[in-house]
A and B are shown apart, each in its own frame.
Chain A
Amino acid sequence: MNETRSCRATVTPFLFTPQVLYIECASGLIAALEERVMKKDLGKVRNIGISAHIDSGKTTLTERILFYTQRIHAIHEVRGKDGVGATMDSMELEKERGITIQSAATYCDWKDYAINIIDTPGHVDFTIEVERALRVLDGAVLILCSVGGVQSQSITVNRQMTRYKVPRIAFINKCDRTGANPYRVTQQLRDKLDLNAVMLQLPIGLESDLEGMVDLVTMKAIYFDGEQGDSIRIEEIPDNLRDEAEEKREELLDAVSMFSDELMEAMLEEEEIDEALIHEAVRKGTLSLELTPVFIGSAYKNKGVQPLLDAVTSYLPCPTDVENTALDLDKGEEEIVVTNDPADNLVALAFKLEDGRYGQLTYIRTYQGTLSKGDTIINTRTGKKVKVGRLVRMHANEMEEIETAGSGDIVALFGVDCASGDTFCNDKINWSMSSMHVPAPVISLAVTPVDNKAQINMSKALNRFTKEDPTFKTFVDHETGETIISGMGELHLEVYIERMKREYKAEVEIGAPQVAYRETILQRADFDYTHKKQTGGSGQFGRVAGYIEPLEEGEYEFVDQIVGGAIPREFISSCDKGFQKALAKGILTGSPITGIRAVINDGSFHAVDSSDVAFQLAAIGAFKAGYPKASPVIMEPIMKVAVEGPSEFQGAVMGSLNQRRGVIIGTFEEGNYTVVESEVPLSEMFGYSTTLRSLTQGKAEFTMEFSTYKQVPKSVADELIKEFEAQKKDA
Chain B
Amino acid sequence: MGYEPLVSQNPLRAFNIGRTGNQLGLVMARAGLGKTALLVQIALDAILRGKNVLHVSIGETIDKTRLWYDDILQLILQEHSVNRPHELIEMVAQHRMIMTFNESSFSRPRLEERLNDLVLQNIFVPNCIVIDGFDFENTERQVLEDIKDLTENMSLQAWFSAISHREDTRFSPAGVPAPCHEIDDLFDTIILLKPESDSSINLEVIRNSGEKVENGKELKLDPTTMMVKEI
Contacts and interface: CB of A to CB of B under 8 A. Distances in A.
Contact of A192 (B61, B104, B121): B61
A192 B64 CA distance: 9
Contacts of A670: 101-102, 105
Interface in A646-668: 650-651, 654-655, 658, 663-668
Interface string A595-607: 0000000000000
B117 interface: yes
Contacts of B65: 666
Nearest to B84: A522
Most chain-B Cβ atoms within 10 A of its Cβ — which of A191, A192, A668, A670? A668
A14 B118 CA distance: 57
B100 A665 contact: no
Given A669-B101, A670-B102, A654 B121 contact: yes
Interface in B190-221: none
Interface string B137-178: 000000000000000000000000000000000000000000
A666 B93 contact: no
Interface of A: 191-192, 194, 650-651, 654-655, 658, 663-671, 675, 677, 710
A574 B116 CA distance: 61
Nearest to B101: A669
Contacts of B183: none
Contacts of B110: 669
A710 to B, nearest CB: 8
B62 interface: yes
Contacts of B102: 191, 669-671
A664 B97 contact: yes
A666 B97 contact: yes
16 contacts: A191-B61, A191-B102, A650-B114, A651-B117, A654-B118, A654-B121, A663-B93, A665-B66, A665-B98, A666-B65, A666-B66, A667-B98, A667-B100, A668-B61, A669-B106, A670-B101
B123 interface: yes
B124 interface: yes
Interface of B: 59, 61-62, 64-66, 90, 93-94, 97-102, 104-106, 110, 113-114, 116-118, 121-124
B40 to A, nearest CB: 14
A727 to B, nearest CB: 30
Contact of B100 (A658, A664, A669): A669
Point out which of A191, A654, A663, A667 has the most chain B C-beta atoms below 10 A from its C-beta: A667
Contacts of B123: 654-655, 658, 664
Contact of A654 (B66, B90, B106, B117): B117
B93 A665 contact: yes
Contacts of A669: 99-102, 105-106, 110
Contacts of B105: 669-671
B62 A677 contact: yes
Closest 6 A-B residue pairs measured CB to CB? Answer: A666-B98, A651-B117, A666-B62, A658-B123, A670-B102, A655-B121
A650 B117 contact: yes
A471 to B, nearest CB: 25
Contacts of B94: 663
B14 to A, nearest CB: 31
A654 B98 CA distance: 13
Nearest to A671: B105
Contacts of B104: 671
Contacts of A668: 61-62, 100-101
B117 to A, nearest CB: 3
Contact of A667 (B59, B93, B99, B121): B99
Contacts of A651: 113-114, 116-117, 121
Contacts of A194: 64
Contacts of B64: 194
Nearest to B58: A669
A156 to B, nearest CB: 12
Contacts of A677: 62
A654 B123 CA distance: 8
Contacts of B124: 664
B34 to A, nearest CB: 21
A546 B123 CA distance: 46
Among B90, B106, B113, B123, chain A packs the most CB atoms within 10 A around the CB of B123
Contacts of A667: 62, 98-100, 114
Contacts of B121: 651, 654-655, 658
A146 B200 CA distance: 45
A670 B100 CA distance: 9
Nearest to B94: A663
Given A651-B117, A651-B121, A658-B121, A665 B101 contact: no
A710 B93 CA distance: 13
A584 B145 CA distance: 62
Contacts of A675: 62
Contacts of A654: 117-118, 121, 123
A666 B56 CA distance: 9
Nearest to B85: A552
Given A191-B102, A651-B116, A666-B100, 16 more contacts: A191-B61, A192-B61, A650-B117, A651-B114, A663-B93, A664-B124, A665-B66, A665-B98, A666-B66, A666-B98, A666-B99, A667-B62, A669-B106, A670-B101, A671-B102, A675-B62
A654 B115 CA distance: 12
Nearest to A662: B123
Nearest to A192: B61
Nearest to B106: A669
A650 B124 CA distance: 14
B65 to A, nearest CB: 7
A663 B96 CA distance: 10
